[in-house]
Chains A and B, each alone.
Chain A
Amino acid sequence: MRNDTQEHQQVSRAAGRGVGLRLRALSKSFSGRTVLHDIDLDIEPGEFVAIVGRSGCGKSTLLRLVAQLDGASGGEVVYEHEGSGEPEIRIMFQDARLLPWKRVQANVALGLPKQAAPQALNALRQVGLGQRAGEWPAVLSGGQRQRVALARALVHDPQLLLLDEPLGALDALTRIEMQALIESLWRERGFTALLVTHDVQEAIALADRVLLIEDGHVALDQRIDLARPRSRGQAQFASLEEAILARVLRHPGSEAATEPSEDFFTPRGVHQVQWAV
């Protein structure tokens, strides 16, 4: 399994797509309140890293610093990539942030030269929305809008894709679908991915490494060496989820331990009730 990830990283390095990140003593404070304290972190090119933590812990702030949307109060982010110039960084937000007055394809082509329309259509096909290219964003469902946003990010062929809880507002089924889509595109393209999420299961399903941010520090750096694609039913998956969740909640583990099995049996329970009624 470890070989698998290493192999993958080598492939992406060869392709030169992924960008490596070196965070050095990175801090951020808002009007005197320090949100991030001296964060030191190395992310390898092509790596998929998930950041979890309670709301308000500073995980989104970290992502915004890496995205250069906000400036740091101290320290620096170094981008290591082959080729010259600025690395291609794209970010996906929790809300799709599509321009409602542009049709789907024009939204994907935002920031591209005019002749790039076929590229935009291609990216839309990759996320399974080639048919909807001529529609207004308003008629799409939440999941479809996020797929358009994903296509918009991918059409730039990013070296670093930042995901700021992009699936947080979606229903459970659409979420699993989107996770699979993001994973397959990441494996295909080999970009570096940084995912902020509050869903520990999502973090384990997608990431090579799960980081927990607490009180502005990296409190946990857990490598996930499960084979891809990952099945949520695996015992290893469940025990990792339990361990990380317990760490996030700082609970002894008794409550968290029952959660996976409950999840597993819920559909049957509901079904039985329906049948009885």
Chain B
Amino acid sequence: MTSVSNPVLASTAPQEQARPKAAAKAPRKPRGAWVGWLLPVLLLVWWEIAAQAGWLSSRILPEPFAVLKAAWNLSASGELWRHLAVSSGRAASGFAVGAGLGLILGLLSGSLRSAELLLDTTLQMVRNIPALALIPLVILWFGIDETAKLFLVSVGVFFPVYLNTFHGIRSVDQGLIEMAKSYGLSGWPLYRDVILPGALPSILVGLRFALGLVWVLLIVAETISAQAGIGYMTMNAREFLQTDVVLVGILLYALLGKLADTAARALERFFLRWHPGYQ
């Protein structure tokens, strides 16, 4: 909890200034976390009131309580957990393949001039094709089963990781490398102690970006054709006009995205604990 509170505090600073009285009462650290949730809660309250008053048709937007009930029913029947597990599995495997390849190739072409010459032109060309534009081709190649989804997610995740890793390796302070060499470091020790840690801030930016992208790609991949997953659940519910279930699916994506971002932040805080920006 405390580890999350700092960035939240920073992002909500203007709100704090606008409400000095409420802010002054609460102790320092929980205040930040609390203010961060203020806007979503107010929105919910307004939504509930609007639904109760009949300003919103339940087909357009059912009341929050109905959404909550739908979520409860889905999780009680176990359906929600099944879809969640399938989606998470797809996200994790797609991320592992895409980010793993991006990291390896980024390290390779960042470190070796020959690898850069060989790879970079091709990758820069492919990079400009939006991953989602590949959908027709992907369906032709892989059909509509799991491989297609894995491929889409991997391709989308690959480029932010590759580019940031490449950039990170290239922008390591040359003075530090020169210093380390004059202290007798070369080969793997030089790589491990100087180049890799120097590139790490940039690599982590790439990972964080990729983690956000995973869900975007997955949503699209799952709405094309699937037999399970949050996307399938949502599309299925649309057919039966279950707006409450559709909303559960959408909110789940928001929650999972937030979770992925929190994980990325935790990684940054751990690996960059030497950095003044994370102390």
B74 located at the interface, meaning its Cβ lies under 8 Å from any Cβ of chain A in the complex = no
The answer to whether A101 and B185 have CB atoms under 8 Å apart is: no
What are the residues of chain B within 8 A of A90 when measuring CB–CB? 182-183
The answer to whether B175 and A111 have CB atoms under 8 Å apart is: no
Candidates B182, B184, B193, B279; contact of A138 at CB < 8 Å: B279
The answer to whether B275 and A100 have CB atoms under 8 Å apart is: yes
The answer to whether A111 and B183 have CB atoms under 8 Å apart is: yes
How many whole Å from B192's CB to the nearest CB in chain A?
11
Cα of A67 to Cα of B193 in the assembled complex, Å: 22
Residue total for A at the interface (Cβ-Cβ under 8 A) = 21
Instruction: Give the size category of B's interface with A.
Output: 10 to 19
The answer to whether A110 and B279 have CB atoms under 8 Å apart is: no
A251 located at the interface, meaning its Cβ lies under 8 Å from any Cβ of chain B in the complex = no
A99 located at the interface, meaning its Cβ lies under 8 Å from any Cβ of chain B in the complex = yes
The answer to whether B197 and A97 have CB atoms under 8 Å apart is: no
What are the residues of chain A within 8 A of B200 when measuring CB–CB? 101
Task: Say yes or no: A99-B279 contact (C-beta < 8 A), given A69-B178, A110-B183.
Answer: no
What are the residues of chain B within 8 A of A97 when measuring CB–CB? 175-176, 179
How many whole Å from A57's CB to the nearest CB in chain B?
21
How many whole Å from B63's CB to the nearest CB in chain A?
51
A189 located at the interface, meaning its Cβ lies under 8 Å from any Cβ of chain B in the complex = no
Q: Mark B261-279, 1 if CB is under 8 A from A, else 0.
A: 0000000000000111001
Known pairs A90-B183, A97-B176. 20 more at Cβ < 8 A? A69-B178, A69-B182, A89-B182, A91-B182, A93-B179, A97-B179, A99-B180, A99-B193, A99-B194, A101-B198, A101-B274, A101-B275, A102-B193, A110-B183, A110-B185, A110-B193, A136-B274, A136-B279, A137-B274, A152-B183
B interface residue numbers (CB < 8 A to A): 175-176, 178-180, 182-185, 193-194, 197-198, 200, 274-276, 279
